[in-house]
Structure 1
Amino acid sequence: MKGSVFVGTSGWNYKHWANGRFYPQGLAQKHWLSFYAERFGTVEINNTFYRLPSPETFAGWAKTVPKGFIFAVKASHFITHIKRLKDPHKSVQLFLSRLPRLGNKRGPILFQLPPQMQADRDRLDGLRRSLARRKGLRVVIELRHESWFTDEIYDLVGQAGWTICLADAPKFSRKIPVLGPFCYIRRHGATARYASCYSDEQLSQDARLITGLAKKGRDVYIYFNNDAEGHAVKNALTLMEMIPNKYLPNIPARTSSTSI
């Protein structure tokens, strides 16, 4: 059984994508998501990292996009950066209580840990316990300190059924393993973080990795976070052209030209 590949960007609500750069000249901001969803089958919601939207906001997003569209959701920084996974149960349950309004368009949930946070197995296990009763969640952990990359942590993540985010992290000495039934990739920028474009050769390497995983039955989610100057959109569209159509969701305008 083949896996499915979901290619998108980290967020869509960028004013510097307007006025013809990606969104057409004069397109009202309230229509940006529907325009985006005509070209991509997924998006990573990153404003949930800074504040928790109302249930009505989540429901509105779900109504705006077509059937089959997937929202990945970045967990609150209160859980990961302020409390650093300490006593996470109440804050995790509050966060999760909003997500049902996305319905079957809810995708993976990303917990991005601070780059200064060193490995703490007990706290990570506390997060596991907080999520254990929530069946069907696809949980992703973005680890950003070298100390996390150990077999002990891999075992915990694997037992929980989670996956570790594959992100641009040249400082890490270990190759990050692909754990769990799906793969989650974040691309923050080729050279300058958030502000540089990937070459076709770099994208073709990702395409080969992704296609290989999909052939083996793994779903793959990849999000470009290099939003400056619309690089994320350009790179995502280019990558989609490099992946066989049979692995991609059926989006009618997927190959439509833009001003990027």
Structure 2
Amino acid sequence: MGGKIRVGIGGWVFEPWRGTFYPEGLRQKDELAYVGEHLTATEINATYYSTQKPATFAGWAKAVPDGFQFAVKASRYCTNRKVLAESGDSIAKFVNQGLVELGDRLGPILWQFMPTKKFDPEDFGAFLKLLPASVDGVPLRHALEVRHESFDDPAFFELAGQAGAAVVYADHPEYPALRGHDVGFSYARLMRTREEEDSGYASDEIAHWAAMARGQGAQGDAYVFFISGAKVRAPAAAQATIAALGQQ
């Protein structure tokens, strides 16, 4: 069964986007609404650094149109630790901070691990068992962004698949580009935009990402985020991909 393809960026507050993506004079408080009008998803970065209020999530949900979704970056206190199996309390605090206020705008949760974090099958398996399937009756979907080559291991993919968690595909000069099992949705983070390219990536590369998203979308919801790299070009790359998909 096919899904919906959503394409976006990381966050929405970035000064160099003012005058390049955002029109001159647009009020900062209207920037998220502008993202909602022109893209179909964004990652929430603030949740990685600190706990947010339920009213904040509700406000974000109201700022964007139907169909738009937020991927929520999990707290660093869950993932940046020596023993992942001990993160249960932090995970509970994170998922219960008010994510449900996003309603149908809630996309996947992104669990990002440090590049130095190596694959420990026992500990990582224990961590995956701590990830809740839902919160207050709202289903949760989990995406794992691992950045150490030791995760390029059949045992990791098996654990992720058993947990129903997507493995994030990363286009990055240093992190491994991993593809996990089909779990009903996919998640890509594309991090090599270049400032000299008006659309971040060359036109043939944009066509490649659009084709990848189309293929993933045939299997379930597909999320594609342009982040990092030449971040000033991320919105243009997202818009070019949306255009290539024929969504606008």
TM-score, length-scaled by structure 1: 0.85
Q: Which structure carries more relative contact order (alpha carbon 8 Å, separation 6+)?
A: 1
Match 2:191 to one of 170, 181, 188: 188
Q: Equivalent residue for 1:224?
A: 226
Q: Equivalent residue for 1:146?
A: 149
Q: For residues 101-126 of structure 1, what are the alpha-carbon distances to aligned partners after superposition, in whole Å with 9 as ceiling and x for unaligned?
A: 11121110000110001101222222
How far apart are the structure 2 equivalents of 1:186 and 1:130? 24
CA offset at residue 176 of structure 1? 2.5
Q: Equivalent residue for 1:105?
A: 105
Q: Equivalent residue for 2:63?
A: 64
C-alpha contact 2:172 2:192 (8 A) present in aligned 1 = no
How far apart are the structure 2 equivalents of 1:78 and 1:139? 16
Task: Count matched residues.
Answer: 241
CA offset at residue 212 of structure 1? 1.8
TM-score, length-scaled by structure 2: 0.89
C-alpha contact 2:210 2:245 (8 A) present in aligned 1 = yes
Task: Point out where structure 1 has 5 or more consecutive residues left out of the alignment.
Answer: 246-253, 255-260
Alignment of 1:156-171 (within 5 A): 156-171=159-174
CA offset at residue 63 of structure 1? 1.3
Task: Point out where structure 2 has 5 or more consecutive residues left out of the alignment.
Answer: none
Q: Which amino acid in 2 is paired with 1:199?
A: A
Q: Which amino acid in 1 is paired with 2:122?
A: D
1:91 pairs with 2:90: yes
Q: Which moved more, 1:177-186 or 1:139-148?
A: 177-186
CA offset at residue 128 of structure 1? 1.9
Q: Which amino acid in 2 is paired with 1:12?
A: W
Q: Equivalent residue for 2:182?
A: 179
How far apart are the structure 1 equivalents of 2:130 and 2:120? 16
Q: Which moved more, 1:182-191 or 1:111-120?
A: 182-191
Alignment CA distance shift 1:218-1:133 (3 Å): closer
C-alpha contact 1:227 1:233 (8 A) present in aligned 2 = no
How far apart are the structure 1 equivalents of 2:64 and 2:80? 31
How far apart are the structure 1 equivalents of 2:225 and 2:178? 19
C-alpha contact 1:10 1:46 (8 A) present in aligned 2 = yes
Q: Equivalent residue for 1:23?
A: 22
Task: State the identity as a percent.
Answer: 35
Q: Equivalent residue for 1:32?
A: 31
Q: Equivalent residue for 1:123?
A: 123
Alignment CA distance shift 1:208-1:84 (3 Å): farther
Q: Equivalent residue for 1:258?
A: none
Alignment CA distance shift 1:94-1:155 (3 Å): same
CA RMSD of aligned residues (A): 2.2
How far apart are the structure 1 equivalents of 2:29 and 2:48? 21
C-alpha contact 2:194 2:229 (8 A) present in aligned 1 = no
C-alpha contact 2:170 2:177 (8 A) present in aligned 1 = no
